[in-house]
Amino acid sequence: MRFISRLPAMGLSLAVAAGLSASALAQQGQPPLSAEESDPRVLGWMVGSPPPADKIITQPDSVYFSFPRLRWSVCHLREFLPTEEISRGLGAPVPLSYLTPDELTQYAEEIDALTFTPMNSDGQMTWKDSLGANYTDGMLIMHKGRVVYEKYSGCLNEDGKHAAMSMTKSLTGLLAQILVAEGTLDETKRVIDIIPEIKGSAFATATVREVMDMTTGVKYSENYADPNADIWVYSRAASPLPKPEGYKGPNGYWEYLQQVQPEGRHGDEFHYKTINSDMLGWIITRVTGKEVTQLASERLWSKMGAEQAAYQTVDGKGVPFAGGGLTASLRDLGRLGQLMLDEGVINGKRLFPAEVARRIRQGGDPSKFAGFPTIPNGSYTSQWWVFHNDHGAYAARGVHGQTIYVDPTAEMVLVRFASFPTAANGRIDPTSLPAYQAVAEYLMAKD
Amino acid sequence: MRFISRLPAMGLSLAVAAGLSASALAQQGQPPLSAEESDPRVLGWMVGSPPPADKIITQPDSVYFSFPRLRWSVCHLREFLPTEEISRGLGAPVPLSYLTPDELTQYAEEIDALTFTPMNSDGQMTWKDSLGANYTDGMLIMHKGRVVYEKYSGCLNEDGKHAAMSMTKSLTGLLAQILVAEGTLDETKRVIDIIPEIKGSAFATATVREVMDMTTGVKYSENYADPNADIWVYSRAASPLPKPEGYKGPNGYWEYLQQVQPEGRHGDEFHYKTINSDMLGWIITRVTGKEVTQLASERLWSKMGAEQAAYQTVDGKGVPFAGGGLTASLRDLGRLGQLMLDEGVINGKRLFPAEVARRIRQGGDPSKFAGFPTIPNGSYTSQWWVFHNDHGAYAARGVHGQTIYVDPTAEMVLVRFASFPTAANGRIDPTSLPAYQAVAEYLMAKD
């Protein structure tokens, strides 16, 4: 039984992707090290041949994805897990446009000095201090298609890659939205009409749109204290390791999805449950005959001038983790954000119809959205978060502080990689969302 | 104990890299499917969402690396194993030079029609038939720096990658030879003088050169029938999975190397033992402070105009498998071969001193070399196989038919990826080495 009890730890950080990590739990009540103190270069993880025993980061994920080790591991997930490549193809990358070096210096100084009021606070914080407060590993800001700010810290470099966590969902949702716009995927269809073998699952009678918007009525508990909680069953199913003898549970994401029980009614309310993203990944693969990694390569990475191949973790049957498995470079997610801002056009080429980005930007039904105090008027649609604020901003978001933040009014794309000690973005938003707004206003004032 | 008994199966195909696979053992006595019959596209592995149960390839490696499944898995190792990237950097690839399309067609026809006499045979075989006979997945032939022949089959495409198996050793050896030429590594030093903690191991008193040439006197048995054989201990050590509770053996390649027992005398004879390559990987990392993956990227992949990042499997402590973990693209290994032929220069840039390639080409001591009937006059040096034939040819070689074959006389570089049912190259050479010679002579006659 020891083997079984270890399996959840190999569950590809499903818990983390879902919004709450074992590390966060373990750290409760302890003041975590600061960003500077926990910088992986300061702590010296994995330095040496071999590193000292207490500086080696290894399995299981309750170790390698615990703070402060996660500050190293977010750049190295493939060293722990089986993965598939999202190929950038064989052509030359298309470099991003930049301000002149002098302008970049000036903008960096000015942006670093910007101040804003964190949520639920009377005080002021500078942009520069917000980087540390949020354990930022990478920050890229583009304005009107040009990079105006770029910083790397912690484990990340310009030629490195970082875990995107639940921003993966937005990639999956974008692919689905493209297929809807092209007529390959009918969002009004019920899942069972696309995947007949889902018949025993609560997903069967949900529509594709409900899956895309996470308004399905499906049971998926993430009570970590309960050893029978769905999250553990999902983790065991998702583990890429050989299943222990006698294991009777579902094997892989897709078998898990076939036995999901109902909870509530489809269409009633938004519930942030990762299994919707994996259901959507399956739907995409069924209607295209292609894995989401292949589709992401064909439609995006090989056509947007990407600098680096990305990758996605997989389950034991080679199915990519559509709800949280992506790792990519900062600039390539900048390209993806710019592609959204420019409604499907990049480097003079149209990669998808404009209505794809417009539909996402428009958002879901805010009346169905609740439970996220830092996004009071928000909605969730096609696996993207829509703020319904003055600027019409929307975002891909992943735990521990990952975001692609698109502000159409300021013509700004902001990508942040981070390794905040706590998973839940509710802890990270107060010093992030007002900071993004401050930069947006700064950039608009520069016009 | 079940967990322990499963561990060897996760041993990163050490057995395979070492020259004999479980699959080969399982297949003994059965006539294997032909290349055409076993083509993964014909067998339909991993096609479908999900694939039919009997078409899914999954853990452990006794399954995924058994013939005919290995014909799919050689292109997909990262989907089963943790890996590290060998980055190609962020610049534009430098396309290989090609004959004109008309010339390519003509050369392909002429080369396909070439005939040769397989070893130990009276009959004749055409080049084209040799491709199938050897379960060829990719074949690239370059002459005087230009591609004259390029074919993909089985699981491989131009934008795919393939397991290099023990060709990895030659990459490790090349890096070591570069460090020797640059004076960073003293080949006359004993290992213990570089890595003091190797003191309890038979490697301690071997020289770096003896490690490079595999003339060390170290015990390493690969008797698969013996559950206590060293190969199994090494496999358990190398497994990237969490070690089972109560496990007392070495953890990782480097801990294993510290407890190797002596067998014979250093310097006396060549013995093909993979642990030498991992010892060399450790030496390289100790003297440079860099992992072999990082060094391969800095010195080769990021400077030779590579089209794709390569990758290397790792143990549970993140140490790359220097003896067999590499996966790369056909063309990028063509670049590596051309770099050897051109003695360190590619695309007008010198990447390493000419003496590096010259030293390797010169070979080791043939009087210490025995036991490879298909290489009767050969030697092994710096982890490369030297044929000491009329053409001065030398090669990187990996089980199941992998090779980078450099013929300085014909100014030919040939790269072959294959998935021959049997691991040992002794079975594959009879229809390969004479075929390479025939192409070399054909190309020389074209001059």
- Give pLDDT tens digits for A340-393: 999 999 999 999 999 999 999 999 999 999 999 999 999 999 999 999 999 999
Rounded to a whole number, what is the distance in Å from the CA of A52 to chain B's nearest CA? 11
pLDDT confidence of residue B29: 61
pLDDT reading at B23 higher than 60? no
Averaged pLDDT for residues B263-278: 97
Q: What is the pLDDT of residues B387-397, one digit of tens each?
A: 999 999 999 99
Closest residue in B to A54 (Cα–Cα): B317
CB contact under 8 A, B90 and A307: yes
Cβ contact B317–A289 (<8 Å): no
What's the whole-number mean pLDDT along residues B253-279?
97
Q: What's residue A134's pLDDT?
A: 98
- Over residues A196-246, the pLDDT tens digits come to 999 999 999 999 999 999 999 999 998 777 888 899 899 999 999 888 889
The answer on pLDDT for B22 being more than 60 is no
Q: Does domain A183-279 have CATH number 1.20.58.710?
A: yes
Question: Do the Cβ atoms of A159 and B89 come within 8 Å?
Answer: yes
The C-alpha of B368 sits at a distance from chain A's nearest C-alpha, in angstroms, of: 32
**For position B59, what pLDDT does the model report?**
87
Judge contact between A377 and A151, C-beta under 8 A.
no
Query: Could you tell me the maximum CA-CA distance found in chain B, to the nearest angstrom?
Result: 65
User: What mean pLDDT is predicted for residues B334-358?
Assistant: 98
Percent of chain A's residues with pLDDT above 90: 88
Residues of A with Cβ-Cβ distance to B254 under 8 angstroms: 49-50
Please say if the pLDDT value at position A17 is more than 70: no
Q: Which of B50, B80, B87 sits opposite A82 (nearest CB)?
A: B80
CA pair distance A243, A316, nearest whole angstrom: 9
Q: Which of B90, B39, B94, B98 is nearest to B69 (CA)?
A: B39
CA B308 to chain A, closest CA, distance in angstroms equals: 7
- CB A289 to CB B49 under 8 A? yes
Min distance A380 CA to chain B CA atoms (Å): 27
Calculate how close chain A gets to B365, using CA atoms only, in Å: 31
pLDDT surpassing 70 at residue A289: yes
Cβ-defined contact of A90 to B314 (cutoff 8 Å)? no
Question: Which residue in chain A has the smallest CA separation from B320?
Answer: A79
Predicted ipTM of the assembly: 0.93
What's the mean pLDDT when you consider all of chain B?
A: 93
The sign one gets for the Cα dihedral B290, B296, B300, B302 is negative
Binary contact (B87, A159; C-beta < 8 A): yes
- For B425-434, the pLDDT digits (tens) are 999 999 999 9
Question: In sequence order, which residues have a C-beta less than 8 Å from that of residue B403 and are 6 or more positions away?
Answer: B167, B395, B396, B397, B414, B415, B416, B432
Contact call for residues A78 and A162 (beta carbons, < 8 A): no
> Do residue B242 and residue A93 have CB atoms under 8 angstroms apart?
no
Of A87, A91, A241, the CB nearest to B59: A241
- Which segment of A239-248, A328-337, B9-18, B89-98 scores lowest on mean pLDDT? B9-18
Q: Taking the CB of residue B158, how many other CB atoms lie within 10 A of it? A: 14
**Residue A12 confidence (pLDDT):** 40
| Beta-carbon separation of A93 and B92 below 8 A | yes
Per-residue b or e along A387-409, where b marks 16 or more CB atoms closer than 10 Å to that residue's CB: bbbebbbbbbbbbbbbbbbbbbe
Q: What is the C-alpha to C-alpha distance for residues B75 and A84, in angstroms, rounded to an integer?
A: 11
**pLDDT for the residue numbered A28:** 52
Region for B256 from its dihedrals, namely left if φ exceeds 0, alpha if ψ lies in -120 to 50, beta otherwise: alpha
Span B259-277, average pLDDT: 97
- The model's pLDDT over A97-153, given as tens digits with 9 standing for 90+, comes to 999 999 999 999 999 999 999 999 999 999 999 999 999 999 999 999 999 999 999
Instruction: Give the model confidence (pLDDT) of B210-243 as tens digits.
Output: 999 999 999 999 877 788 889 989 999 999 988 8
Domain ranges in chain A? Answer: 15-82, 97-177+289-446, 183-279
Residue spans of beta strands (DSSP E) within A261-383? 310-313, 326-328, 345-346, 349-350, 379-381
Residue of B nearest to A316 (CA): B58
Whether pLDDT at B201 is above 50:
yes
pLDDT reading at B148 higher than 60: yes
Q: In CATH terms, is domain A97-177+289-446 a member of 3.90.1150.10? A: no
**pLDDT interval class at B4 (50, 70, 90):** very low
Question: What is the widest separation between alpha-carbon atoms in chain A?
Answer: 65
DSSP states of B283-301 as a string? HHHHHHSS-HHHHHIIIII
Q: In the CATH hierarchy, which top-level class contains the domain B9-182+295-447? A: alpha beta
Higher pLDDT, A25 or B3: A25
Answer yes or no: is pLDDT of A23 > 80: no
In whole angstroms, what is the distance from residue B382 CA to residue B360 CA?
6
User: A280 to chain B: which residues are within 8 Å by CB?
Assistant: none
Give pLDDT, residue A18: 39
Q: Do A318 and B56 touch (CB under 8 A)?
A: yes
Are domains B9-182+295-447 and B183-279 of this chain identical in fold? no
Is the confidence at residue B9, as pLDDT, over 50?
A: no
C-alpha–C-alpha distance, residues A360 and A382, integer Å = 6
Mean pLDDT of B109-122: 97
pLDDT bin (cut points 50, 70, 90) of residue A60 is confident
pLDDT tens string A33-51: 999 999 999 999 999 999 9
**pLDDT, tens digit, 9 for 90 and up, residues A267-281:** 999 999 999 999 999
pLDDT band at B8 (very low <50, low <70, confident <90, very high): very low
As a whole number, mean pLDDT of residues B97-122 equals 97
Q: Running DSSP on this structure, what letter comes out for residue A189?
A: S
Mean pLDDT of B29-50: 93
Q: Give the number of other CB atoms < 10 A from CB of residue B31.
A: 7
Q: What is the pLDDT of residues B358-380, one digit of tens each?
A: 999 999 999 999 999 999 999 99
Residue type, B438: A
